[in-house]
Structure 1
Amino acid sequence: MLEKIDLNKSIDHKEYTDKLETLSKQLSVLQRECLSRQIPIMVVFEGWGASGKGDLINNLIHSLDPRGFKVFSIDIETEEDKKRPYLCRFWNKIPAKGQIAIFDRSWYRRILSDRMDGISDKKKVQNAYDEILNFEDMLIKDGMLIIKFFLHISKHEQKKRLHKLEEHKETAWRVTKADWKHNKNYEEYLAINNEMLEKTDMAEAPWSIVEATDLQYAEIKVLSTVVERMETELTKDVVASRKVDNYHRKLGWIPSEELFHNSTLDSVDLSLSIEKEEYRNKLEVLQEKIAILQNKVYLLQIPIVIVFEGWDAAGKGGTIKRLTECLDPRGYEVIPIAAPNDIEKEHHYMWRFYNKLPKASQIAIYDRSWYGRVLVERVEELIRDEEWKRAYSEINQLEKQLTNAGTIVMKFWLHIDKEEQGKRFKERQENPEKQWKITEEDWRNRAKWDEYEKAVDEMLIRTSTTYAPWTIVEANSKNYARIKLLETVMNVIEKYIENLKK
Structure 2
Amino acid sequence: MTGQKHTEDLDWLEAELADTLDEDYELEMSEPALSLEIRKIYDKAHPPSLDRKDYLRKLLHLQSELIKMHDWVRYTGEKVVVIFEGRDSAGKGGVIKRITQRLNPRVCRTVALPAPSERERSQWYFQRYVPHLPAGGEIVLFDRSWYNRAGVERVMGFAREDQVEQFFEDVPDFERMLVRSGIRVIKYWFSITDEEQQLRFLMRIHDPLKQWKLSPMDLQSRVRWEAYTKAKEEMLARTNIPEAPWYIVPGNDKKRARLNCIDHLLSMIPYEPVPQEEVTLPDRYYNPQYERSVLPEELYVPSKY
1:225 equivalent in structure 2: none
2:110 equivalent in structure 1: 334
1:343 equivalent in structure 2: 119
Q: Secondary structure at the match of 1:494?
A: coil
CA contact (8 A) 1:314 1:414 kept: yes
TM-score w.r.t. structure 1 length? 0.44
Q: Secondary structure at the match of 1:327?
A: coil
1:466 equivalent in structure 2: 242
Superposed displacement of residue 272, structure 1: 10
1:442 equivalent in structure 2: 218
Matches within 5 A, 1:170-319: 274-319=50-95
Task: Give CA deviations for 1:240-285 in whole Å, capped at 9, x if unaligned.
Answer: xxxxxxxxxxxxxxxxxxxxxxxxxxxxxx9895443432221011
Identity %: 36
CA contact (8 A) 1:272 1:474 kept: no
Is the alpha carbon distance of 1:392 and 1:271 closer, same or farther for their aligned partners in structure 2, counting shifts above 3 Å?
Answer: farther
Correspondence for 1:323 among 99, 102, 106: 99
Q: Secondary structure at the match of 2:106?
A: helix
Superposed displacement of residue 447, structure 1: 0.4
Q: Secondary structure at the match of 1:288?
A: helix
TM-score w.r.t. structure 2 length? 0.71
Task: Give CA deviations for 1:276-299 in whole Å, capped at 9, x if unaligned.
Answer: 343222101100011011111111
Matches within 5 A, 1:4-83: none
Structure 1 residue 487 corresponds to structure 2 residue 281: no
Distance 2:186 2:51 in 1: 26
2:147 equivalent in structure 1: 371
Q: Which moved more, 1:416-425 or 1:324-333?
A: 324-333
Segments ≥4 residues shifted beyond 6 Å? none
Task: Give CA deviations for 1:214-259 in whole Å, capped at 9, x if unaligned.
Answer: xxxxxxxxxxxxxxxxxxxxxxxxxxxxxxxxxxxxxxxxxxxxxx
2:190 equivalent in structure 1: 414
Distance 1:445 1:431 in 2: 19
2:31 equivalent in structure 1: none
Is the alpha carbon distance of 1:379 and 1:482 closer, same or farther for their aligned partners in structure 2, counting shifts above 3 Å?
Answer: same
Distance 2:262 2:48 in 1: 16
Structure 1 residue 405 corresponds to structure 2 residue 178: no
Computed over aligned residues only, the root mean square deviation of the Cα atoms, in angstroms, reads 1.9
Q: Secondary structure at the match of 1:493?
A: coil
Unaligned runs of 5+ in 2: 1-45, 274-305
1:355 equivalent in structure 2: 131
Distance 2:176 2:204 in 1: 39
Q: Which moved more, 1:325-334 or 1:451-460?
A: 325-334
Distance 1:319 1:470 in 2: 17
Superposed displacement of residue 494, structure 1: 2.3
Is the alpha carbon distance of 1:271 and 1:366 closer, same or farther for their aligned partners in structure 2, counting shifts above 3 Å?
Answer: farther
Q: Secondary structure at the match of 1:355?
A: helix
Distance 1:451 1:491 in 2: 33
Distance 1:483 1:339 in 2: 30
Superposed displacement of residue 317, structure 1: 1.3
1:454 equivalent in structure 2: 230
Number of residue pairs matched by the alignment: 228
